[in-house]
Chain A
């Protein structure tokens, strides 16, 4: 039960994007389409699960003073692995996401979970926590990407259902801020109702 709770809490209650407001850079930068957002979310999720597992396993042996640099080394090692794998197997996605892949290292979600959860919980729990938060992140990036794609290019998951081009502004930079802003308002409104 508790493991399922660990996984599902990241979806709404502890959603990294809408509730915790962490990792804003990739959230805004990579969501030009639903698939791009999803790709970024899955890449981050892989890093999150793997680094959470390793950090929870070795946390006991790391002196307290050097723990942050050590976590960063572990995280960046996994980021490099994911980067190399994507370069080989998903070259076009790698090309679109560009520098945002190496920038997963400085994504505050990953280091935040290591510091707040993984270093004091078991390997399995940490993996579940990483999976939950990762799924929440993937979900929000996909939703933002979908909204921007529908409004901006009149398509969904690369499926063009409109003849025209859509409103280009939503694919460009200002659209990212506007869509995320309004979705956050919607999220606040919905969760506030639930609490009442």
Chain B
């Protein structure tokens, strides 16, 4: 049951893009076509699940026992950068096809704050389910990461669909490019607010 609540809450209610504002750069950058948006979200899902798993273990088996929690930011970002590089190398070797479709997005993910944000959030915040609040365990953390990434993918894909239409419609000169994209995103965020209070 907890897993279902985490899924719904992270995908719809607390969508990382439209309510936390993590990962806005790729949201504005690679959302011009639906195809690239789908590729980017697949890459983010993969890296986010893996990264959260690794940083969770790092937090509870290295940083906490050694009492060096203040090194959290430094160690997490290093692990993430290394991990992304490693995934890129492994993917190139074992599945060139997957690398072809995800490869170009991987370097971009290191500076995607959504990945670091989710990794930090699951070890810092208490989550409340059915009246009792506690820190997330490993399984719950990974489910949360995957759900957040799905939420990211959902928002970016929908947004890309709208932007494809915007390309062919007449937009006033000053609104062209980023401004109209931001205003569209604002209206989308309003629609997503309809989910609030669901969980």
A: residues with CB less than 8 A from B are 21, 24-26, 28-29, 68-69, 72-73, 76-77, 79-80, 83-84, 99, 102-103, 105-108, 111, 169, 172-178, 180-182, 184-185, 188-189, 192
Contacts and interface: CB of A to CB of B under 8 A. Distances in A.
Contacts of B22: 25, 29, 103
Contacts of A79: 73
13 contacts: A25-B23, A29-B21, A69-B78, A99-B121, A102-B72, A102-B116, A111-B111, A174-B189, A176-B21, A181-B185, A184-B178, A185-B175, A188-B174
Interface in B62-94: 70-74, 77-78, 81
A143 to B, nearest CB: 15
B199 interface: no
Interface residues of B, number: 41
B197 to A, nearest CB: 13
B120 A181 contact: no
Contacts of B72: 102
A80 B174 contact: no
Contacts of B187: 174
Residue of A25, A108, A178 ringed by the most chain B CB atoms within 10 A: A25
Contacts of A108: 25, 111
A172 B78 contact: no
B186 A72 contact: no
B35 interface: no
Given A80-B73, A103-B116, A111-B111, A24 B28 contact: yes
Interface of B: 18-25, 28, 70-74, 77-78, 81, 110-113, 116-117, 120-121, 124, 174-175, 178-183, 185-187, 189-190, 192-193
A174 B190 CA distance: 5
Contacts of B180: 181
A184 B19 CA distance: 20
Contacts of B70: 80, 84
Given A169-B190, A173-B193, A105 B179 contact: no
Contact of A25 (B18, B113, B183): B113
Contact of A80 (B74, B121, B178, B183): B74
A25 B115 CA distance: 13
Given A102-B72, A184-B179, A73 B23 contact: no
Given A177-B189, A184-B178, 9 more contacts: A26-B21, A69-B78, A84-B70, A102-B116, A106-B116, A173-B189, A176-B21, A184-B182, A188-B179
Contacts of A106: 77, 110-113, 116
B47 to A, nearest CB: 13
A92 B87 CA distance: 39
> Which 7 pairs, one residue from A and one from B, show the smallest C-beta to C-beta distance?
A177-B186, A181-B182, A29-B21, A178-B186, A181-B183, A24-B24, A174-B189
B135 to A, nearest CB: 15
Contact of A76 (B21, B25, B77, B192): B77
A101 B37 CA distance: 28
A182 B28 contact: no
Contact of A177 (B20, B117, B185): B185
B174 A173 contact: no
B120 A102 contact: yes
A175 B182 CA distance: 10
